[in-house]
Structure 1
């Protein structure tokens, strides 16, 4: 008995140690040259966060520590985030587990040592993520043997996508997406597997409680709740067909549901219960031919982790557990069919096997919503792989190997078992070394500029920038943004019709705001750009939502607003009344939002990362609202350049000879060539018949090839050329970023 417990404890320590210490390497910015590392380190000599969502979670945690709730303030007794989607801000609707956990750890740590919150949350993922491997190990050990369980636990903490999303500096809810689901599945199975009615009740309650905790930790918890419900219905139907008793599964499922929903309703509010029942309808709506915000462009389609995936992608994210998992799945099926489980897998049964199968199918179904949901596949596939390894060991044990003495035979089996474990686990260790070659999401230049905004602009200043930088801005500059990483707050769609805090329902928040942002940068009409910025920063979505109420036609609403935002109040009034036949009262109402008497102050932040996402500015900014597709046909390539003396090339087909001033792109001379170096700009027009402009950013070792029709767009002027112009002036700049203000 002592030996058995010792082995278990040793395995738990090993899994935790491997998961922890391999993750610690990310704190050394291993993917960055030594001479550049300090550029990515903060004042505490730690890397800036690798994932910018971490700064959102940090900000909510700081709010909770400072005034006892996650929001910035309370409006009519409800928490509001006044930094995100401003104006007007948004009701705070976010799973609080990560905040509660971080605040608790911060308080405990500071009982012994004085550490800033940002340092505490930086390290939290590295200590929480390995716990998932321990839970998987204990569960797999319950249905297999110790060797297979060890493999399952190690593969869990080393799975590439889970590993990279739980390193220090990735302070996000992904740390919970394996721990709680495996607990729920395990406890639910134990409730059915045990013969003791009292224990069955306890396990059912614990399963429901674990599901409740998961609901407070991750927005995707509904997948697992419906997985349990669907499985229970399937099991009941199968039992009825085979004339087996169903009382126990009904009893367990009902207890599970009542505990989960009861705790949700009592501790988080009835809306979270209603969301659960609206979720399937919303999933169907989102997955339809048109998204929930049609005909507005869908900013979510620009997010790589929400894009569709291929089998190669899944393999790179999961690693050997994908193939090992399917082999294990088939092997278990063979054992169950041939009634060999008493010999090799005594604890496994059709109940847990079917549940794991459905779990796997749920994971593949979730991939329809993007690659990040591959996380749902990790647990079942690592468990299958662990069972497969366990079966290999069991088969070795049952081999006679008569040519060895009993002691030698035992040693041979031990050596072979270790070899199998190493064979399965080693590729994962090798793979993670590649995943660590990444740079933090921020650097000294960005932080320097955002701190300048914080200390040199009024508190009411709205910072305009790409949505991907929103969380960083609200953290470092402490200023509101038009959009951030939560974009259109798609997670709240399920309950908006039931929540009075969303007067516009699904229409706001929405990606519609992103269209206006992109259109302002895509156009070469600076007056229109200024009008769009004025509208968004002063009244948010109200202008175009009100116009939609009048016209009942989104395409017409956009046309009208584009016609008035670039002109003065009087001209705009005449256009609304004379050209589009709005009543004077309607026109005055619209102008109150588009041409406010006291517009909000704003600044624009442009940086190199924004150029990397520039394709979407033109794709979404030139949108055809009649068919819901981009109206733009254009070229946009942003590439690294390779220099060999005076010869410069890139992967897209650019060849520049600085010595002879010859420039070609895919064999043709471009319309214009713009050379930018250390703030100096030289533009040359070369070929009037060509459709492309080439921008060569020598100090950044970058090239940009873009259609000539966007040569004078605001995006090119502010983000690429970065030169003073009649409409916007630079307030502050460094080598990477610039802060602009309207003149």
Structure 2
């Protein structure tokens, strides 16, 4: 393995590890019951000295996990071979044989690992499981975004997604529910799906296709709404093929080039992995949830859009009384609130108005790039360069990696490069458009689904950050422009702090001090040195970045 490739991998591992510690640490703070005076904290703890779980579902999941560890099935007893919980719907109880078991499997596994080193009760392990498992979301978010843009964009996307208000409020320490899986597993599925479609080697397509099937199989045991993501990816690929046909992009070869249809199918780069995932996925889901579970999941895709309906039954719909099932506002807090991240509005839930416009800019750039690629011609010599001028494979791949930047359009050495760039652009455009629109439709059924929307929006916002960094590095050569960018960024950092009204005294003063300090530091680095053209450009631009 080349040294450059090893360094890139090691750097990514270190960054992911730091991000994991950061997001887990923020979730772990809930164990301290912050904001509650020390003299009354005991009122918020149970008999074991552990803070109370944050909602009722957590206690139900804990009880199911305890049942599984105690006698190997969910519920207190078996009725007609199915688990029956006598604590729900008392005194008759209810059937829990169809309970999503992954949360119990994972918690019992962690319980075994933890107790190899120190004694800890299952309740204590469950208390930390949500915060721990949800923090693994940093891995697929970072890798997925890094495959499109640079480290800066990948880090930004990871923080936006992993710390999304509607996600972190359902995955902090003491929140023991299936939300812990709702970013990590879907993102791994989509990551493997996209890599299967993009891979040039047949063996890699097969491996990634199998990994995506395994991931969705695990997810089917974790959350009842798992079918949302396979449906999204199927629609993505339908849109992809339609756009490629409309734009005259070669994605399917003629039958006449192959001896039989099977040979033709195996050699279709995009079609084969999709067909393989559909076939293997159907077989895998038959093993995990059965034919009934598959049909229920498919019907649930449309049934989910009637969650808030009040006219389907003579009885009141209890969902409309649940806070997280209320239809969210687009934006909360007026103009000041537009820059804040919170659970009160859709735009707030994805990181604020800046992130929202960043997403729109990224989608616009994908479209603009695609339009420019339609008329691009081969430029340059496609023959191999002299051995002394050849670059390492890892460096070449890094430079040729698909980016949303437009600066390299037109510098292709062959029609294959042009066609590949067109296919990648259409693939990502189809992915983000369908993913965002489908997630936005889900959000209309309750605020809790903002955590679904924040994933594609957060990734696009991260891509925007990566693009902005590349633009600053390549195009900003004026001190005044750099300083103006630094002032705007300082404001975006400091302003949200001034709006904190709980848990922080003198927030306005603290935010103002931070703003002034950042502006002064920026001015010192930019103006108290030589002109940017005669000085160390990397230091000034690194500060702005």
Deviation, 1:17, is: 1.7
Q: How far, CA to CA, are the matches of 2:439 and 2:499 in structure 1?
A: 22
- Which of residues 311, 314, 317 is equivalent to 2:346? 314
Q: How far, CA to CA, are the matches of 1:323 and 1:44 in structure 2?
A: 48
Summarize the Cα distance change of 1:76–1:398 in structure 2 as closer, same or farther, 3 Å threshold: same
**Structure 1 match to 2:319:** 300
**Structure 2 match to 1:121:** 126
Asked whether 1:45 is paired with 2:35, we answer: no
Summarize the Cα distance change of 1:344–1:30 in structure 2 as closer, same or farther, 3 Å threshold: farther
**Structure 2 match to 1:562:** none
Deviation, 1:351, is: 0.2
Summarize the Cα distance change of 1:394–1:336 in structure 2 as closer, same or farther, 3 Å threshold: farther
Summarize the Cα distance change of 1:123–1:94 in structure 2 as closer, same or farther, 3 Å threshold: same
Q: Deviations 1:415-437 (Å, cap 9, x if unpaired)?
A: 99999998777778x59987989
Kept in 1, the 8 Å contact 2:197–2:205? The answer is yes
Asked whether 1:257 is paired with 2:333, we answer: no
**Structure 2 match to 1:719:** none
Deviation, 1:387, is: 0.6
- Which of residues 142, 147, 153 is equivalent to 2:152? 147
1:74 is paired with a residue whose SS is: strand
The gaps in structure 2 that reach 5 residues or longer are 253-264, 332-344, 374-403, 410-420, 505-545
Kept in 2, the 8 Å contact 1:158–1:432? The answer is no
Asked whether 1:12 is paired with 2:16, we answer: yes
**Structure 2 match to 1:396:** 472
Deviation, 1:288, is: 5.7
385-394 vs 27-36, which deviates more? 27-36
154-163 vs 392-401, which deviates more? 392-401
Kept in 2, the 8 Å contact 1:138–1:149? The answer is yes
276-285 vs 389-398, which deviates more? 276-285
Q: How far, CA to CA, are the matches of 1:382 and 1:432 in structure 2?
A: 22
**Structure 2 match to 1:328:** 362
Q: TM-score, normalised by structure 2?
A: 0.71
Q: Deviations 1:273-330 (Å, cap 9, x if unpaired)?
A: 2213322453466566623xx1111111111111111102113333234343333333
Deviation, 1:234, is: 2.5
Asked whether 1:65 is paired with 2:69, we answer: yes
Which of the pair has more CA radius of gyration?
1
Q: How does 1:474-493 map to 2 (within 5 A)?
A: none
Which has a greater percent of helix? 2
- Which of residues 158, 166, 171 is equivalent to 1:161? 166
205-214 vs 102-111, which deviates more? 205-214
Q: TM-score, normalised by structure 1?
A: 0.53
Q: How far, CA to CA, are the matches of 1:427 and 1:8 in structure 2?
A: 31
Q: How does 1:320-719 map to 2 (within 5 A)?
A: 320=352, 321-339=355-373, 341=405, 343=407, 349-399=425-475, 401=477
Q: Deviations 1:568-625 (Å, cap 9, x if unpaired)?
A: xxxxxxxxxxxxxxxxxxxxxxxxxxxxxxxxxxxxxxxxxxxxxxxxxxxxxxxxxx
Summarize the Cα distance change of 1:211–1:35 in structure 2 as closer, same or farther, 3 Å threshold: same
2:83 is paired with a residue whose SS is: strand
Deviation, 1:385, is: 0.9
Q: How far, CA to CA, are the matches of 2:206 and 2:212 in structure 1?
A: 10
Deviation, 1:373, is: 0.7
Q: Deviations 1:694-715 (Å, cap 9, x if unpaired)?
A: xxxxxxxxxxxxxxxxxxxxxx
**Structure 1 match to 2:383:** none
Summarize the Cα distance change of 1:84–1:240 in structure 2 as closer, same or farther, 3 Å threshold: same
Kept in 2, the 8 Å contact 1:326–1:381? The answer is no
- Which of residues 233, 247, 266 is equivalent to 1:228? 233
Deviation, 1:232, is: 2.2
Kept in 2, the 8 Å contact 1:183–1:207? The answer is yes
Q: How far, CA to CA, are the matches of 1:212 and 1:425 in structure 2?
A: 41
Q: How far, CA to CA, are the matches of 2:442 and 2:498 in structure 1?
A: 24
- Which of residues 188, 191, 203 is equivalent to 1:198? 203
Q: How far, CA to CA, are the matches of 2:55 and 2:498 in structure 1?
A: 20
Deviation, 1:353, is: 2.2
2:227 is paired with a residue whose SS is: helix
Deviation, 1:263, is: 1.6
Q: How far, CA to CA, are the matches of 1:297 and 1:68 in structure 2?
A: 37
Deviation, 1:374, is: 0.8
Kept in 1, the 8 Å contact 2:140–2:191? The answer is no
Kept in 2, the 8 Å contact 1:324–1:381? The answer is no
Kept in 1, the 8 Å contact 2:349–2:454? The answer is no
**Structure 2 match to 1:279:** 300
Deviation, 1:108, is: 1.1
Kept in 1, the 8 Å contact 2:45–2:52? The answer is yes
- Which of residues 184, 190, 213 is equivalent to 2:218? 213
Which has a greater percent of strand? 1
**Structure 2 match to 1:442:** none
Kept in 2, the 8 Å contact 1:156–1:378? The answer is yes
Kept in 1, the 8 Å contact 2:164–2:349? The answer is yes
Deviation, 1:61, is: 0.5
Give the alignment's Cα RMSD to 1 decimal.
3.2
**Structure 1 match to 2:526:** none
Q: How far, CA to CA, are the matches of 1:29 and 1:322 in structure 2?
A: 32
The gaps in structure 1 that reach 5 residues or longer are 404-411, 438-743
**Structure 2 match to 1:446:** none
Q: How far, CA to CA, are the matches of 2:196 and 2:134 in structure 1?
A: 26
Summarize the Cα distance change of 1:43–1:289 in structure 2 as closer, same or farther, 3 Å threshold: closer
Q: How far, CA to CA, are the matches of 2:226 and 2:488 in structure 1?
A: 35
Asked whether 1:89 is paired with 2:93, we answer: yes
Asked whether 1:267 is paired with 2:288, we answer: yes
Q: Deviations 1:111-154 (Å, cap 9, x if unpaired)?
A: 22111111111111222222112320111001111111011112
